[in-house]
Structure 1
Amino acid sequence: MNDASPDPLAEFRAVNVEGTLRLAQQAVEAGVKQFVFVSSIKVNGERTMPGRPFIEDDPAAPEDPYSISKHEAEVGVRALAAGSGMSVTVVRPPLVYGPGVKANFERMMNWVARGVPLPLGCIENRRSFVGLTNLADLLCLCATHPAAEGRTFLAADGEDLSTTELLLRLGRALGRPARLLPVPPVVLAGCARAIGKAEVAGRLLDSLQVDASAARRILGWKPPRTVDEELEATARHFLATRY
């Protein structure tokens, strides 16, 4: 998010591609039969149209160095494993939250916990998230279920939220009601463009929905925790460590 590298793609490739391929090669040499690679929904793209969530069969459309490196890693691991006897399963999660979450999610919790008035009270986008416990449960299932072999799955909690809804529910979990001002999204977008923060506004205003029904249908997966349960666990850790 605060990348200062003169060549971000090279930096991401060093870890996400080269590091992953080294690990996959060692797995092949060790006789591993099932390799689960955690990729990113950003491989599919940065946003979705209303009612058109991403699915596994959508063509890859990575837009930034991070997502480009993740897509290259997916392709590289599958090519490396071909004919080796090792099967590869790819899981693409959206934003992952849970105890210890960082970056924008932690920033939002700080805003809400401090009672900062936020101009985010009438945003009607839809975004998918996945709690840490739910994602871990899916990864364990992919590592052991025969039907997961060779497939790509998308991960999500199963309940999409608007930015406004997320902040309100975070406030309830934190015990500090979110103070939201009803500023029209078009005004927010215009102000963000004027100060060079269009990408930040996009994360707050755009939709990014994920259809994780394939994992439910093929693997019989059901997220063990609801969104509110995951938010409460996240909030408890945040309050215990920060306040």
Structure 2
Amino acid sequence: MRVLLTGATGFVGRGLLKRLSTQGGLQLRAAVRRQESAFPESVTVVQVADLRGDTDWRQALEGVEAVIHSAARVHVMDDQAKDPLAEFRAVNVAGTLNLARQAVSAGVKRFVFISSIKVNGEGTASGKPYTADDTPMPVDPYGISKLEAEQGLQALSQETGMEVVIIRPVLVYGPGVKANFRSMMSWLRKGIPLPLGATGNKRSLVAVDNLVDLIATCIDHPAAANQTFLVSDGEDLSTTQLLQRMGKALGRPARLLPVPASLLQAGAAMLGKRAIAQRLCGSLQVDIGKTRELLGWAPPVSVDDALRKTARAFEAG
């Protein structure tokens, strides 16, 4: 089977590239804006323009049977765009649907779309996880754009018969992770006392190896056709528990102060950092029962093994 991967140089894309380039029975083609690094010899690299509504995908799609679409304008804190929703729509909606329509014309049988849990919303009450079949309630422009892309793909599937698989990951971590996750590892390595010893929240995370395994499963699993899946490690952690286990993986005990989460959230609100406090103190859980039952899938990597692998890469610099 010939598979086209978009976003091959991104965080998830690199994991997919490593996995799929050695998977028997697949001929992998990677679409990139520019070739910045070496690719495995087994991978065919095709240069494509930016992901927009008028991008020409014909060469990249020639002979392709399945597309894994992981390229996107990703969520960023403090977006400086004058109209963030318009920018997200130009890439994540118009760009995605343009690719999908050309995929139909090229005879592609299945389109695997990497969406986001932000389609479901920004947080859950503890013990009440999101499910794949909940009514979507996105809040920010990124989540709205991902939902609109999902809806456009589903309509295109009904019209044309091309199978669409939607995967909504939670926070993805692993070797090379950046943003808040890397910051927390840096704080722990330096031994900085953190006021996060009494959070009591619950959050679902997904190791990049687990996400990649599910995506690989969805390329040709018959039961995946025209379904939406949530994905996580299958074990939810409070921020306190995550820091403790991250510290263990790094070989540095977490120095955590038991400051009540309510005080942290109040202080963050006064400083204009409400979104950061929500990520550290709020809950966001997902139920992956549908993913397990319909696909017979389980996360192959445990949280602690994934944290150790992430820590080794972090320490190696």
Q: Does 1:77 align with 2:145?
A: no
1:2 CA drift (Å):
3.2
**Residue 230 of structure 2 aligns with which residue?**
154
1:14 CA drift (Å):
1.7
1:47 CA drift (Å):
0.7
Q: Which has the higher contact order (CA 8 A, sep 6+)?
A: 1
**Residue 112 of structure 1 aligns with which residue?**
188
**1:176-213 CA-partner distances (Å, limit 9, x unpaired):** 11111111111111111111111111111111000011
**Residue 295 of structure 2 aligns with which residue?**
219
Q: Which moved more, 1:36-45 or 1:73-82?
A: 73-82
Q: Which of 241, 245, 248 is the aligned partner of 1:172?
A: 248
**1:115-162 CA-partner distances (Å, limit 9, x unpaired):** 111000011100000100000000111111000101101001000000
More helix by share: 1
List alignment gaps of at least 5 residues for structure 2.
Answer: 1-76
SS in structure 2 at match of 1:231 = helix
**Residue 56 of structure 2 aligns with which residue?**
none
Normalising by structure 2, we get a TM-score of: 0.74
Percent of residue pairs identical: 60
Give the AA of the match of 2:267.
C
Distance 2:186 2:155 in 1: 43
Q: Which moved more, 1:82-91 or 1:65-74?
A: 82-91
Distance 2:129 2:258 in 1: 26
SS in structure 1 at match of 2:166 = strand
More strand by share: 2
SS in structure 2 at match of 1:82 = helix
Distance 2:289 2:231 in 1: 9
Q: Does 1:26 align with 2:102?
A: yes
Is the contact between residue 34 and residue 88 of structure 1 (CA under 8 Å) also seen in structure 2? yes
Give the AA of the match of 1:123.
T
Q: Does 1:121 align with 2:205?
A: no
List alignment gaps of at least 5 residues for structure 1.
Answer: none
Distance 2:314 2:168 in 1: 26
SS in structure 2 at match of 1:224 = coil
Distance 1:175 1:23 in 2: 45
1:113 CA drift (Å):
1.3
Distance 1:232 1:19 in 2: 37
Q: How many residues align?
A: 241
**Residue 119 of structure 2 aligns with which residue?**
43
**Residue 310 of structure 2 aligns with which residue?**
234
1:81 CA drift (Å):
2.6
Q: Which moved more, 1:124-133 or 1:101-110?
A: 101-110
Is the contact between residue 203 and residue 285 of structure 2 (CA under 8 Å) also seen in structure 1? yes
Q: How does 1:49-88 map to 2 (within 5 A)?
A: 49-88=125-164
Q: How does 1:175-190 map to 2 (within 5 A)?
A: 175-190=251-266
Distance 1:40 1:16 in 2: 11
Please identify runs of 4+ aligned residues in structure 1 that moved more than 4 A: none
